[in-house]
Amino acid sequence: MRRNFMPRNQRGATLIVGLIMLLLFTLMVSSAFMMSGTNLKAVANMQSRDEAVAAANMAIELVASDDFSSTPAASTINVDLNNDDVSDYTVQIAAPVCVNASMADVTAPSSAQLLVVTSYTWNTVWDITATVSDPVSGAAVVVRSGLRVLLSEAQKNNSNCPTPA
């Protein structure tokens, strides 16, 4: 004689509870996978933007190291960030603009002033704007930098700096 120890109304309940738990576990794993992919994209976007800002700053430093005040002109500079001899970013530099000029303090070169100073020097403030657009990563940044340059009176007059009133 065969005896059944399980009541009829509880058959299959364990299977249904197990399937529900398996479904919940699958949903948790898939949502964790999707969130990690989103975080990876966000980090890659931040890295691309930071690289574009670094490229713009390198180009601005290159322009600032040259005598740009005599003939300010727009330029295009290729920047290689990782030194592999391949241009990583192309930076568009707008023509530097002199926004302010003020007469610098006249100081004697030594304690004994032998000559009378007849020309003045000028503190000039320049605005340099760099634009980077990378078609590969989609990063696009605009970096503005202010730069103070000490110019002689002749250099100031040739650079179209505004004369203070």
- Reported as a single tens digit per residue, the pLDDT across 73-106 is 899 999 888 889 888 899 999 999 999 888 887 6
**Does 116 score more than 60 pLDDT?**
no
Domains of the chain: which residue ranges?
Answer: 11-158
Which amino acid is located at 13 in the chain? A
Residue 52 above 90 pLDDT? Answer: yes
Q: Which amino acid is at 136?
A: V
Separation between Cα atoms, residue 120 and residue 102, nearest integer Å: 10
The DSSP symbol for 136 reads T
Of 68, 65, 70, the residue nearest 94 (C-alpha): 68
Residues 114-137 have a mean pLDDT of 79
136-to-42, 43, 48, 104 alpha-carbon distances in Å: 16, 16, 10, 46
- HSE value, Cβ hemisphere, 13 Å, CA-based, for 71: 1
> Taking 90 as the threshold, does the pLDDT of residue 12 lie above it?
no
Q: What number is the average pLDDT over the span 39-68?
A: 90
Beta bridge partners of 147: 126
Confidence grade of residue 36 (pLDDT, cut at 50, 70, 90): confident
Residue 29 has pLDDT above 80, yes or no: yes
More confident residue, 117 or 149: 149
Alpha carbon 68 to chain centroid, angstroms: 22
> In this predicted structure, what is the pLDDT of residue 6?
59
Identify the pLDDT of residue 4: 61
pLDDT for residue 142 is more than 90 = yes
